[in-house]
Structure 1
Amino acid sequence: GTRIKAGERVMFVAWSMGRTASLWREPELFEPTRHLDRETGAFRFPHAYSFPVFLAGPRTCLGKEMAYLGAGLLLTALLQRFDIEMTRPAHEVTYDVGLTLWTKGGVFIRFRDRK
């Protein structure tokens, strides 16, 4: 563990936690299938605190499930209607890491109507 002195501030950075080798196998790789149950294909996380965006335990965000549902519906609608592509290769995207994560210069994507 880590000893924390009285009066010290503690915060977590979700970006860093998502790239912690003790929590994830090959954390630097983009591997969305790591979050799928191998038997059912259902979305899952190995531990509630592995993805702290909505927190966990008795103080978990009350709107978590609604946020997941809304994001899924929005993404489905966008993917049905548009072909989406990045305007520059993903490996060229760089980040400013702090309390929040920013992309240097932004990330630009192009939406084209599906035919």
Structure 2
Amino acid sequence: MHYLHAAITESMRLYPPVPLNSQSCLSDDVLPDGTAVKKGWFMSYISYAMGRMETIWGPDCREYKPERWLDVGKFRPESPFKFPAFHAGPRMCLGKEMAYIQMKSIVACVLERLAVELADKEARPVKMISLTLRMKGGLLLRFRKRSARH
């Protein structure tokens, strides 16, 4: 389950469910990198771009590598300010752990029973940015039952 947790997290690093966000500052504050933000200012961040920044994730930042989240086979989380899929600080998503439990249980149940493949291996999904990141026309998949184990 550690590898599955890492695989899901790596997917959200590259394809965050909420690809961009804006906040307004209620009082003067300082960001983790030392940048001052004044009361009344609006600030936007683009987690989609952050997941692809070499300065944050290294030279392999565009590669899908679940192993980057593992330390001797165990899941190792990053700072939520580096990986903001569930936001950070006092606005951190309260449902984060429940979301991971649900994602991991669904993936494990599906993959235990079904083999999954792209319906069209040549198709390239077109991303659409809205409140949430989604694919134009969805992602067409083909499922087949796995053979019974002996």
Q: TM-score, normalised by structure 2?
A: 0.62
The corresponding residue for 1:36 is 70
Residue 3 of structure 1 and its aligned partner are, at CA, apart by: 7.5
Distance 1:48 1:106 in 2: 29
The offset of 1:97, in angstroms, is: 4.5
Percent of matched pairs sharing the same residue: 38
TM-align CA RMSD = 2.6
Cα deviation digits, residues 56-111 of structure 1 (max 9, x gap) = 22321111111111111111101101001112337833324466433244321111
Equivalent position amino acid for 1:12 in 2: Y
* 2:108 equivalent in structure 1: 76
Q: Is there any run of 5+ residues in structure 2 with no aligned partner, and where?
A: 1-33
Q: Does residue 12 of structure 1 match 2:45?
A: yes
Contact persistence 1:54–1:60 (CA under 8 A): yes
1-side partners of 2:48 and 2:78: how far apart?
17
Amino acid at match of 1:36: L
Unaligned runs of at least 5 residues, structure 1: none
Matches within 5 A, 1:78-93: 78-89=110-121, 92-93=124-125
Size of the alignment, in residue pairs?
113
Partners of 2:38 and 2:130 lie apart in 1 by 22
How far is 1:8 from its partner?
5.4
Structure 2 counterpart SS, 1:92: coil
TM-score, normalised by the number of residues in structure 1: 0.77
**Aligned 8 A contact 1:15 1:101 in 2:** no
- The one-letter amino acid paired with 1:46 is E
Instruction: Tell me which residue corresponds to 2:89.
Output: 57
Q: 89-98 or 13-22: which moved more?
A: 89-98
Question: Is 1:46 paired with 2:78?
Answer: yes
* Runs of 4+ with >4 A deviation: 1-8
68-77 or 101-110: bigger deviation: 101-110
Give the secondary structure class of the aligned counterpart of 1:22.
helix
